[in-house]
């Protein structure tokens, strides 16, 4: 299903572990970009549901596109949400590219496990050896639990960082 929030679970865990070296906003934008082609197929009824956008070659191209467009959209979104304690938000280019490529490659990998029509290594092979590697139920649980774990770690780190920056009374 396009735009599944379950892809964000692993992204939350990566954000918790890498903190400022990873942009969850760019990662999330990449998830949306990756599923535009399947959305168009669902609306029109024409084409291959998980086509070129769900190959690793497509992931590279869409990852670069997501980094280029996601940098400024993410900075604007974070400013609107007032994240960053009033300072102007600046996401480094390497963080954008890294986050977008992690987003696009993980998207192809997770969808390869779940969907029979994903051909991740096209044009080299149409085979999808990842399909059915684990059950869809287990895949969903891994995504959900990684998100919960990531959120917990992120807020624990944030809590301890804020405590260490407070002046002692």
- Is residue 12 in a domain? no
Running DSSP on this structure, what letter comes out for residue 133?
A: S
- The domain of 76 spans 20-131
- Is residue 57 in a domain? yes
Q: Contact 50/111 with Cβ under 8 angstroms? A: yes
Which among 153, 140, 154, 70 has a CA at the least distance from the CA of 104? Answer: 70
Per-residue pLDDT at 2:
55
Here the tokens at position 123 are: 């044009």
- Is residue 87 in a domain? yes
Spell out, as residue ranges, where the chain has pLDDT lower than 70: 1-3, 83-87, 166-169
- Is residue 5 in a domain? no
- Is residue 148 in a domain? no
Which residue shows structure tokens 């960053």?
Answer: 84
Please tell me the total count of domains within the chain: 1
- Is residue 51 in a domain? yes
Specify the pTM: 0.90
Chain-centroid distance of CA 114 in Å reads 16
Q: Contact 53/61 with Cβ under 8 angstroms? A: no
Which is it for the CA torsion 25, 31, 34, 35, positive or negative?
negative
Cα(87)–Cα(70) distance, integer angstroms: 19
pLDDT in tens, 57-104: 999 999 999 999 999 999 888 888 876 555 677 899 999 999 999 999
Which is it for the CA torsion 6, 8, 14, 16, positive or negative?
negative
Which is it for the CA torsion 77, 79, 85, 91, positive or negative?
positive
- Is residue 47 in a domain? yes
Cα(70)–Cα(67) distance, integer angstroms: 5
Here the tokens at position 140 are: 């969903």
- Is residue 7 in a domain? no
């Amino acid at each position: 299903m396009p735009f599944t929030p379950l892809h964000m679970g692993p992204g939350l865990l990566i954000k918790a572990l890498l903190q400022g070296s990873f942009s969850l906003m760019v990662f999330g934008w990449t998830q949306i970009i990756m599923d535009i082609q399947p959305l168009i197929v669902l609306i029109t009824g024409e084409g291959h549901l998980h086509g070129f956008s769900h190959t690793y070659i497509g992931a590279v191209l869409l990852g670069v596109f997501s980094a280029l467009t996601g940098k400024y959209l993410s900075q604007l979104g974070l400013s609107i949400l007032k994240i960053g304690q009033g300072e102007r938000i600046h996401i480094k280019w390497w963080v954008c590219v890294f986050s977008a490529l992690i987003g696009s490659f993980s998207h192809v990998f997770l969808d390869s496990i779940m969907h029979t029509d994903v051909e991740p290594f096209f044009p080299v092979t149409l085979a999808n050896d990842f399909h059915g590697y684990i059950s869809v139920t287990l895949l969903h649980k891994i995504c959900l639990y990684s998100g919960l774990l990531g959120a917990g770690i992120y807020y624990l780190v944030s809590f301890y960082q804020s405590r260490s920056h407070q002046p002692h009374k």
